[in-house]
Chain A
Amino acid sequence: MKARAFSYARPSTVMEALETFADAGEDASYVAGGQSLVPALALRLQAPQLLIDIAHIEALRGVELQGGWLRIGALTRHCEVLTDPLIARHAPLYHAAAPHVAHPAIRNRGTIGGSISHSDPASEFPAMTLAMGAELELVSRTGTRRVAADDFFIDLFQTAIEPGELLVAIHVPVIRPGHRWAFHEFARRRGDYALVGCGVLAEFSDGLIEQARIVFFSVGNTPLRARQAEQCLIGKRLDEAAVAAAQALVGGDLDPPEDEHVPPAMKRHLARVLLGRLLGQIMRQDS
């Protein structure tokens, strides 16, 4: 289990990284924390000719409030997501999900930008990016653009990042007073990829649900919004009947792939149970 040979570059600015990538053509791969990429290289599932190490680019670091948005640098490590007070306050679903991301040593090195770019459908951070309605800041040699999470996760390990672009930061709209949220996942062992996971962010006004984002992961090729379940909650008071109604719809929102060990029926069942528990949790927060 040894990676194929490759060469290595360590740019110190974003522009240098982009140019290095452009010069190398498509046979280059960025590495930040490398916690998903290195095993793939060791297994020879991937074999880039050039590894571009972006971990030393200062501009990709840092967490700061920018108006109504929290800007989280792509190099922010999972362990920092777990402990950063700004993230805990303004992007609480990341904070809630962080303890479930793999194990301490992985969290010490893995980066949020890497996780979102990699876009593993079983990963917590891509799903919570979608749940919080964040925007992804992508930089290329020709400029910068921001892509809404709803438009970002396209298919299995496929995102809106174009070749030559680099994810530099995540912008999360900060939590407002009417917001309630909950996160949980069912996993067979601590730190395993979830059988099913979910984050819920709901905004209440006068006791009624004004907006809801319910995002599941480990249920398909990308993180998935349970749109029918979301829709049925809008304008409602969150009570047992509303929870049951959302639960009844969630099975139809999801289309899990065939899997011998975790069949679609089981995924749907677990999703219903999980949604019930999360909405119940939010219901109790309000009372």
Chain B
Amino acid sequence: MNALTSLDRPNSYIGRSVPRPNAKRLLAGRGRYVTDFVLPRMLHVAYVRSPYAHARIVSIDAQAAREMPGVKLVATGQDLARLCTPWVGTMDHFKGMKSPPQLPLPVDKVVWSGQAVVAVVADTRALAEDAAETVAIEFDELPVVVDIDAARMPGSPVISPELGSNLCFHGKIDTGGVDDVFANAAHIVEEEFHFGRHTAVTMEPRAIIADYDASEQQLTVHHATQTPYQFQDIYSRHYGIPESRVRVIAPDIGGSFGMKLHMYHEDMAVVGLSIMLGRPVKYVADRIESFVSDIHARDHRVRARMAVDADGEILAMDVEDVTAIGAFSAYPRTSVVEGNQVYRLMGAPYTFRNYRADLQVVFQNKVQMSQYRAVGHPIACAVTERLVDMIAAKTARDVFEIRSGNLIPDDAYPCTSPTGYQFEALSHHACLAKLRQMMDYDRLRAEQAQLRSKGIHRGIGIATFVEITNPGPAFYGVGGARISSQDGAIIKITPSGDVRCLISVTELGQGTETIIGQIVAEHLGVDRNRIKVITGDTETTPHGGATYACRGAGIGGETALQAALKLKANVLSVAGAILQEASEKLDIQNGWIIDAATMHPRVELAEIARIVYFRSDTLPPGTQAQLSVTHHYAPQGYPFAFTNGVQGCHLELDVETGLVNILKVWVVEDCGRIINPLLVDEQIRGGVVQGLGAAFFEECAYGDNGQLTNGSLADYLVPMAVEMPDIEIGHVETPTLDTQLGAKGVGEAGTAAASAAALNAVNDAMAPFGGSIAQLPMTPARILKALGHI
């Protein structure tokens, strides 16, 4: 009953729910966000933005603005182009991909409505806005390219004529044999899916302070970003400042979700403005600016079909995805990654081998689209899982049955997907079984039938998924992007025997610092309260990939683990010298050097540190103690650590109004070794709610003229507390054997499948009426249309 578990050992933290030490500061209102920072002599910038989606800049008259109170500088694209070299958002491994060069501010034309054109720097933001209102820009309107089909038509206006067309990238995957399979299939299901553009809407908008000190030629940037090293590299290269003189500090950040790792024009401009002025310049996007300048995501139209045999076995899938990304591909990660993941993740949980897909990535006159949480996953998942449900309906099978008949068996690993993804070990069937039990599925179905007779229409939907985590250099590095897939850590023991860990993965509130502390404490053998984890400053932490694509726990965690073991060996070596004992007979526990066999305490770690730092004269000759280590870890096994799981969604549809009440969501997820269940579960919950936002509420609505029509937080609907359900979470743990830690990522799992499960649930609720829907978000208008009411 009360058997000891591994968690009962001293300093056993991996697998334990511990709260985040750094959260207390935030709770006390003592967070330090870039928006809060005030530097001496700091100025503020406001941007004059384009009212047109596509226009030539004829002239700019800023004389009145220059004469306004408090104005220190008005700068145009020409001014900044003298300082900053252009950038191009392409990667070599996307063959044939193209994108035009970008500059901080445009010099000759604007390509989306809301694009920043002129920078006005003043003593306060209000004064900068006052002056910005007086800048007169004459535009000559150009034909607007908005629609994904029109953009690809011969004779369509081409946004960047030097590229020849509006096609950014065209990719194809074909295993062969697809036409034959479809020709001979017992059943075919097909659907055209529409996924609305949506955006990250972080609570803290983008914020940056650039501070250039000409006396030292030193650039310091306080930047609300998840990838400070990437920006250090970019600012250094594009402004010609030696990397050693560029420091990027990423303090507390009010949400990121992938949105704050792209190079934004306004942010690049701020660096140039600070160089021009020799003073700190701050830019905080207001919410209206966020909607027209933060990256958007999704915006895909997918036509897909599945072939199935008479026994309900899925045989093949055929997919055509068209996605429009704005007028540029984002830098430095490109805007092709989402489409690439869409067409490679299709059908990933299933056994079928015949697959064909066509991906077209198109330029248009809207703000740029790029990576946002769960890049591509929700689209691949929704398309696949809806088609699987359609097969279930067509072959009169239950949605669990059709899946258990087609999911890759849990003992079939390792294996490779038809799109080339290598799976080390997944657990679809274990997850599916657990979900069924957690949902009490049979009872739900019985209840559904009973309530239908009373005019209450509930829907049940499930969706299996595969998530990409722990990416190696195959993700970005091989494409020529200077984005690291390795991480580095410095761990040092202080003279008092405390531990400081400086690591390149960054804290976004997801709990990186907490789990790194847990890992170091466990593997070094000290209490976690004695460990201080430091992140987010290129001046002090080693270079690394930081935070993207669910890599913090898996890669950052392994880095910390290996560094801790290296430091422990160093400690035991010097302890052995002091104690005149073979170091392999010693261990560390609770901050004490102990006899490994008897667990008998020998000497406190603090005493070792005291001797090393202050009484090295007492050490045996030749002993040079190393109580600091620097260690880097780069993943070398599988190119990615794939995770998997399944979600269930239960909702009630008001079939007269099209309004949906989400009753409950269940998630069973396998992220390998769980370091901190409390944090893992909250990552999943937060992710699910972002997925439900996409399913029901979030959409950047554009008019035919390329104008965003709902660009405020009052008009763009984000998920709020009342409409969101409680979410029950279960786990299956299949650690990766690529690392000693065994952890994979989890941050995107919730978002990956939530909208798919919701889509299936709404369709399930509508089934008695013969209606169906294949468009996200599922607004009341679209649901009423599907039901034939309007």
Contacts and interface: CB of A to CB of B under 8 A. Distances in A.
Report if A and B touch in the complex (beta carbons < 8 A). Answer: yes
Interface of A: 1-5, 39, 43-44, 186, 188-192, 195, 260-263, 265-266, 269-270, 273
Contacts of B287: 1
Contacts of B723: 189-190
A188 B784 contact: no
Nearest to A266: B790
Given A1-B288, A190-B720, A195-B780, A260 B701 contact: yes
8 contacts: A188-B780, A189-B720, A191-B722, A265-B790, A266-B780, A269-B789, A273-B656, A273-B657
Contacts of A44: 129, 133
B130 interface: yes
B26 interface: no
B790 A2 contact: no
A266 B720 contact: no
B478 interface: no
Nearest to A186: B657
A266 B658 CA distance: 10
Interface residues of B, number: 26
Contacts of B659: 186, 188
Contacts of B133: 44
B58 interface: no
B179 interface: no
Interface in B743-790: 779-781, 784, 789-790
A2 B129 contact: yes
A269 B722 contact: no
Given A2-B129, A44-B133, A270-B657, A263 B780 contact: no
Contact of A263 (B129, B656, B701, B790): B790
Contacts of A188: 659, 697, 717, 779-780
Interface in B59-75: none
Contacts of B779: 188, 261
Nearest to A43: B288
A209 to B, nearest CB: 24
B216 to A, nearest CB: 34
B790 A189 contact: no
Given A261-B781, A263-B790, A189 B717 contact: yes
Contacts, number: 55
B701 A269 contact: no
A192 B722 CA distance: 12
A263 to B, nearest CB: 7
Contacts of B125: 2
The 8 closest A-B pairs by CB, nearest first: A2-B126, A190-B722, A1-B286, A273-B656, A265-B790, A266-B790, A2-B129, A189-B720
Given A189-B722, A190-B722, 5 more contacts: A5-B126, A188-B780, A189-B723, A260-B701, A266-B781
Interface string B713-740: 0100100101100000000000000000
Select the residue from B126, B129, B656, B701 with max chain A CB neighbours within 10 A: B656
B262 to A, nearest CB: 23
Contacts of A190: 720, 722-723
Contacts of A192: 717
B130 A269 contact: no
A243 to B, nearest CB: 14
A261 B716 CA distance: 12
A186 B781 CA distance: 12
A265 B781 CA distance: 10
Interface string B677-717: 00000000000000000000100010100000100001001
A117 to B, nearest CB: 20
A265 B697 CA distance: 21
B717 A262 contact: no
Contacts of A191: 722
B370 to A, nearest CB: 25
Contacts of A273: 656-657
Given A186-B659, A261-B701, A261-B779, A269 B784 contact: yes
B333 to A, nearest CB: 29
Interface string B442-480: 000000000000000000000000000000000000000
Nearest to B125: A2
A188 B784 CA distance: 14
Interface string B261-291: 0000000000000000000000000111000
Interface string B506-528: 00000000000000000000000
A260 B130 CA distance: 34
A54 B729 CA distance: 52
Contact of B784 (A4, A39, A260, A266): A266
Nearest to A39: B714
Contacts of A265: 790
B656 to A, nearest CB: 5
A64 B599 CA distance: 80
B130 A4 contact: yes
B781 to A, nearest CB: 5
B717 A263 contact: no
A262 B790 CA distance: 11
Nearest to B127: A2
Interface in B122-144: 125-126, 129-130, 133
A189 B781 contact: no
Contact of A189 (B129, B656, B697, B709): B697
Contacts of B288: 1, 43
Nearest to B721: A190
A261 B779 CA distance: 9
Contacts of B697: 188-189
A1 B703 CA distance: 24
B43 to A, nearest CB: 15
Nearest to B777: A188
A261 B709 CA distance: 11
Contacts of A43: 288
